[in-house]
Every structure is written in C-alpha cells, then in structure tokens.
Amino acid sequence: MISRKNMGSASPLLLITLVLGVCFATYNLVTMVMHNRSISKLTIYNSDGGIFVDPIVEMPESVRKLKRAKMPFHVALTATDAPYSKWQCRIMYYWYKKQKDLPGSEMGGFTRILHSGNPDNLMNEIPTVIVDPLPAGLDRGYIVLNRPWAFVQWLEKATIEEEYVLMAEPDHIFVTPLPNLAHGGYPAAFPFFYIKPDQNEKLLRKFFPEEMGPVTNIDPIGNSPVIIKKELLEKIAPTWMNVSLKMKDDPETDKTFGWVLEMYAYAVASALHGVQHILQKDFMLQPPWDLEIGKKYIIHYTYGCDYNMKGELTYGKIGEWRFDKRSFLRGPPPRNLPLPPPGVPESVVTLVKMVNEATANIPNWDAE
C-alpha cells in the first residue's frame, strides 16, 4: 500500500507528467485539426501526382493519398440545334465512345442537354435531353447564358446514375481516357489564365459581398471542364443561373467580362456555396498555345490555328494553312482536312488528325 506521505511527495512529479501529457495531446489534436481543415491554399495537381500549391485550397493529405474504388462520372454538355453546334457534338461524342472503356477511363453515361426546346436530327445518334431556352430576349444575344438554366432543368428532370458529373462543351475532344479527377467534396476544374478575380474585386463585390471572405476565395475557373459531385452541382446551378443574369443586367460587369461573364458567374456561385476546386492543369490543352499533348486529357479547340507554310504561327492573321471552327458556322467541315505543314506543333497536328478520323467514321457526316 502507498502511504499518504508517499502520495504527497509524488504529486509534483505526477502533475508535471500529466501537464506534459495534456500539452502533447492538445498539440497533436490542434495540429491534426489545422491540417485537415486547411482551406487557405489550393492544390494544383499534374498527371504524375505532383503538386503545386497556390494560395487558395490545400487538399488534406488523407484525402489526397486515399486509394479509392472506381468513381464513374456522367458526361454532360449543353448544345443548340444550330449546325455549328451539331457537328462539334458529333465529333465530341465519337471520341467519348472511343475513350470510354479504355484503361484509366472513369467516364460513365453521356447526355447532350439540348436547350433549343425541340428535338433535332441527332436524337437517335447522341443521348439527348431537351430543355427549354431562356425566355425570348433574356440572353440578349449571349447564347451561353442558357447554359446554367439548361443544367438547372436537366438536374431536375433527368435520372443520373453516376454520383459525379463532368460539365463539358461541344468543342472538347477526349485525347486520352479521362479518370475522375475530383476528390470527394473537392471538384476538379481547369484554371483559366484570363479569369482573374483578384484583379476584378470592385466588380465582383457586387455579387460576392465582403462577409463571404476575400475575392481569392473565387477560383480562376469556368464551369467547364469541371468534374463535380451531382449533389454539389444541384446546389450551385440555380445560384450560377441567377448570378449570370445579374451580371448581364449590370452594364459595367457585362462590358468588362464580355464573353467570359458566365464563367465568372460559375466561379462566384461556387464560392458563395463555399465550394472550392482542385485546379488541374493537365485537365485540358488549348491549341495553338499549348504545343504538346503530354499527359493531358482534353483538347479544347476554341482558338483558331493559323500558320504559314514554314510552320510559323500567324495568329491574328489568316494563315496559308488554318483550322478554325468558326470557318464552319453554317455546316460541318469536309472530310479529310489537309494536315498542317511541317513544323506545326504536335497539339495542332493531333487535333486535325482526330477531327479527320471522326468525320471519316461518322455516318452521314455531311448531314446538318
């Protein structure tokens, strides 16, 4: 038996031990909480699993290293019934089918969200859901203002088996099989160099009040390409639509943001819901500025590609050789487009070859 005297003499040692133990446990607890709640930085992943940290959101280590089962995502793109939109959708869907079941792919089902309000001649070729356009005149000639409204309707009326959704566009080509780049509640998005919230704080404060935090909480992204949990998109989409319309109604914002207004609206809507994205630089490449395919997943052919016969870029001036989707506003490009001259970057050569393969294999290609 330990006497009261011995207990008394041991008390200081026991107290010191207890205090040190509690401090150590508290330190570990605080460190763990701070590590797992760190949302002041944004992690940019590349395809090799390397990380580049940019000050917005840092992925918790436990999430980043978590080995997971396959997580398929539904591919969804918005489109119109115009010939310009239809031929791009056909090429996009061709490459989706080619890549879908290859190793590394987590692509699930596919939907063309047709926001023209009526069926067209691609209904039997591409899985399609018809939704209504905005009321006449509301988009004021800015057709992509229909995109958030189209997603709101689709999410309400469609049965989507997959837990995740990829928001894509007609001028996307899957150059390699695409895995699910999202991590749980962290959607994956491509960072656009021209989306600059920190340089547009005055405008953005009209839609993102100061009590919501710094404008750096707004990610430098658009809505596409984005892989996101369906339940998160269901929350964001109505806000995205409302912010888009409010931005369009504000003359200063409309003039400043121009054709990227709807992209800013998605970024703001996400931030209003406290959703931040993992920025994936390898998500997409954009010829002619990105020269190599590397380990990227999507070719986005939004820019014109103009070259002289020496293989030199003549951007801003129509080249001796060119590929520009806007050359085919009224109908599809012909089959077997001429390849670019020697010296043109791999990205442009690959783009034209992939367009040619698709058009050679899609039946009735010349049909609008």
Do 308 and 261 have their domain in common?
no
Lowest mean pLDDT among 53-62, 215-224, 272-281, 355-364: 53-62
pLDDT value, residue 185: 87
Distance CA 199, CA 197 (A): 5
Do residues 317 and 213 share a domain? no
Tell me the mean pLDDT in the region 88-113. Answer: 98
In the predicted structure, residue 154 carries a pLDDT above the cut 60? yes
Give 106's contacts (C-beta < 8 A, 6+ positions apart). 70, 71, 72, 73, 178, 179, 180
296 falls within a domain = no
Provide the 3-class DSSP secondary structure of residue 81: coil
| 12 C-beta neighbours (distance < 10 Å), count | 9
pLDDT at 181 over 50: yes
Q: Using one digit for the tens of pLDDT, what is the confidence trace for 289-334?
A: 999 999 999 999 999 999 999 999 999 999 999 999 999 999 999 9
What is the residue-wise DSSP string for 216-273? GGS-S--SSSEEEEHHHHHHHHHHHHHHHHHHHHSHHHHHHHGGGHHHHHHHHHHHHT
The answer to whether residue 122 is domain-embedded is yes
Structural domain contains residue 25: no
Per-residue confidence band for 110, with pLDDT thresholds at 50, 70 and 90: very high
Cα gap 360→91, rounded to integer Å: 10
SS (H, E, C) 304-341: CEEECCCCCECCCCCCCEEECHHHHCCCCCCCCCCCCC
Quick one: 211 and 311 in the same domain? no
- Dist CA 342 CA 347 (whole Å): 13
Residue 52: beta bridge partners?
A: 44
What b-and-e string marks burial along 80-91, b requiring 16 or more CB atoms within 10 Å of the CB?
bbeebbbbbbbb
Beta-strand relationship, 128-130 and 226-229: unpaired
Residue 13 lies in a domain: no
Residues 232, 343: one domain? no
| Domains contained in the chain, number | 2
Burial class of residue 262 in the structure, from the number of CB atoms within 10 Å of its CB (0-12 exposed, 13-18 middle, 19+ buried): buried
Average pLDDT over the chain reads 86
Residues pairing with 313 in the sheet: 307
Q: Helix, strand, or coil here: 29?
A: helix
In a domain, 3, yes or no: no
Rounded mean pLDDT, 36-45: 36
Q: Phi then psi for 226, rounded to 5 degrees?
A: -140, 130
Measured CA distances, 178 to 50, 227, 239, 315 (Å): 18, 11, 28, 30
pLDDT at 218 over 80: yes
Q: Return d(Cα 54, Cα 69) in angstroms, integer.
A: 28
Q: Are residues 83 and 217 in the same domain?
A: yes
Same domain, 230 and 351: no
Q: Is residue 73 part of a domain?
A: yes
Q: Are residues 215 and 266 in the same domain?
A: yes
- Whole-prediction pTM: 0.83
Confidence of residue 184 (pLDDT cuts 50, 70, 90): confident
Enter the DSSP assignment of 56.
Answer: T
Helix or strand run (H / E) with residue 153: helix 146-157
- Has residue 30 been placed in a domain? no
pLDDT at 293: 97
Give CA–CA dist 340/350, Å, rounded. Answer: 10
27 by DSSP, 3-state: which?
A: helix
Give the 3-state secondary structure of residue 356.
helix
Please tell me whether residues 250 and 307 are part of one structural domain. Answer: no
Answer yes or no: is 21 within a domain. no
Residues composing the chain:
368
Rg (CA), the chain: 25
- Given its phi and psi angles, is residue 69 left (phi above 0), alpha (psi -120 to 50 degrees) or beta? beta
Higher pLDDT, 53 or 187: 187
Q: What is the pLDDT of residue 64?
A: 52
CATH number at residue 117: 3.90.550.10
Confidence at residue 55, expressed as pLDDT on a 0 to 100 scale: 33
Give the tens place of pLDDT for each residue, 3-35.
333 334 444 433 333 333 433 333 333 333 333
Q: What does the pLDDT read at residue 151?
A: 98
Which of these three, 222, 245, 279, is where a domain ends? 279
Q: Do 120 and 245 have their domain in common?
A: yes
Distance (Å, whole) CA 62 – CA 36: 8
Which residues make beta-bridge pairs with 284? 298
Helix, strand or coil, per DSSP, at residue 59:
coil
Dihedral sign (CA 310, 315, 318, 321): positive
- Residue ending a domain, among 229, 245, 279, is 279
Question: Residue 131's domain spans which residues?
Answer: 69-279
Same domain, 182 and 119: yes
Res 141: pLDDT: 87
End of a domain among 246, 279, 312?
279
Confidence of residue 367 (pLDDT cuts 50, 70, 90): confident
Indicate whether 263 and 341 sit together in one domain.
no
Mean pLDDT for the stretch of residues 86-93: 98
Q: In this structure, are 198 and 337 located in the same domain?
A: no
